[in-house]
Homo-oligomer: A and B are copies of this chain.
Amino acid sequence: MKRTSIKDIARIAGVSVATVSYVLNRKEGQRISENTKKKIFEIAETINYTPNKIAKSLKTNKSKLLGLIVADISNEFYSHIARNLEDKALKLGYTLIIGSSDENAEKFEKLIELFSQQQVDGMIVAPVVGSEHILQKLVDKNYPIVTIDRYLKDVKIPSIIVNNREIAESTTDFLLKKKFDKIIYIGYDTKLPHLLDRQKGFETAISESGENVKTQSILVGIENITEEIQSKLKAALGISPTNIALYFSSNKLAVAGLSYLVQNNIKVPENISVVAFDETEAYKLFPSKITYVKQPLEEMADEAVKLLDLQIKQYAASAKKITLSAELIVQNSTK
């Protein structure tokens, strides 16, 4: 499987490799006769020439590779992010290499190292708890990097996020108006700032409302979401809940919780009302249409790649935080 090279073309055409390179890359600086141009293109075609980007990368110091690190590519949220990023990256001539961190700082660091060894031109990452140190090192080296969906408190990295706190607040306000006896927030027991923002938004809205509504927070780890949610919901809801609202702060949590409701025949919105962060295909199989917070994934991907591309071209990190607006899509899972 010997691949053909520029040298082969040069030899056959009887010109230098420099000439071949100029022609194939359509460099305008130097004029080359139409004749040799044509000859070179023809030869390239017939000997089935494929340019070796590795060699080009070595010379130009640009790999046209972008690293993407998400928590788990099999998670619907991230696979959709990845898909949007892929499309956008391709348009700018980049190819994506992808890794999953599993919320594990060591694995995250391994991936960062691997990707930088592969000489990716830049990285788009969803940082995990404990990744501050390694990311700070990249920032110090001026490595083009952008965080997406998440951000870190103490590291200045350009970030693409949504207005988590505000949308959580307004979603909670939306619930407050409906005068539930109790509103339960279901979130993660985590230190990830963007998730804490959602929680703070909830709490702020409650306390600022002056309403005397009962509230509860159910926080779960990332290990056994389904089991943990089911048992905690069971304890919180009892046999026949009424006039209660559930606020799930991610689609994974929502699927676990809604699954509990379905299994226990708790009617939405008759017995209980539900809002959730993020979409999922799964909502389609739920008896009522779920009211949810829609994140602008395509726009996020657009901004992320654009911002990264800018950094790559100018080697100038900006620590700019781009906050996009999520939107509450009101359907009929709330009374």
Least distance between A333 CB and chain B CB atoms (Å): 12
Q: How many copies does the complex hold?
A: 2
Compute how far the CA of A142 lies from the CA of B100 in the bound complex, rounded to whole angstroms: 31
Contacts of A116 in B (CB 8 A): 50
Compute how far the CA of A283 lies from the CA of B90 in the bound complex, rounded to whole angstroms: 33
Interface string of A112-136 (1 = CB under 8 A from B): 0111111100000000000000000
Given contacts A98-B96, A255-B281, contact A76 B73 (CB under 8 A): no
Chain A residues 255 to 285 lying within 8 A of chain B, measured CB to CB, are 255-256, 258-259, 262, 280-285
CB < 8 Å neighbour of A1 from B51, B142, B280: B142
Contacts of A207 in B (CB 8 A): none
- Smallest Cβ-Cβ distance to A116: which chain B residue: B50
B65/A58 in contact, CB under 8 A: no
A95/B99 in contact, CB under 8 A: yes
Least distance between A80 CB and chain B CB atoms (Å): 5
Interface string of A281-321 (1 = CB under 8 A from B): 11111110000000000000000000000000001000000
A281/B284 in contact, CB under 8 A: no
Compute how far the CA of A96 lies from the CA of B116 in the bound complex, rounded to whole angstroms: 14
Tell me the count of chain A residues lying within 8 A, CB to CB, of chain B.
55
Least distance between A277 CB and chain B CB atoms (Å): 16
Contacts of A141 in B (CB 8 A): 1, 48
B100/A97 in contact, CB under 8 A: no
Interface centre among A142, A262, A282 (most CB of B within 10 A): A282
Compute how far the CA of A76 lies from the CA of B284 in the bound complex, rounded to whole angstroms: 15
CB < 8 Å neighbour of A54 from B57, B73, B113, B115: B57
Compute how far the CA of A310 lies from the CA of B280 in the bound complex, rounded to whole angstroms: 38
- Please tell me if A197 contacts chain B, counting CB pairs below 8 Å: no
10 cross-chain pairs, A with B, having the tightest CB-CB distances, nearest first? A79-B79, A282-B282, A74-B83, A259-B284, A1-B142, A285-B286, A285-B285, A53-B117, A54-B119, A97-B97
Q: List 13 A-B contacts (CB under 8 A).
A: A48-B141, A50-B116, A51-B117, A54-B58, A58-B58, A73-B83, A82-B98, A95-B118, A96-B98, A255-B281, A255-B284, A258-B285, A262-B284
Query: Which residues of A approach B to under 8 Å, CB–CB?
Result: 1, 48, 50-55, 57-58, 63-65, 72-76, 79-80, 82-83, 86-87, 90, 95-100, 113-119, 141-143, 255-256, 258-259, 262, 280-287, 315
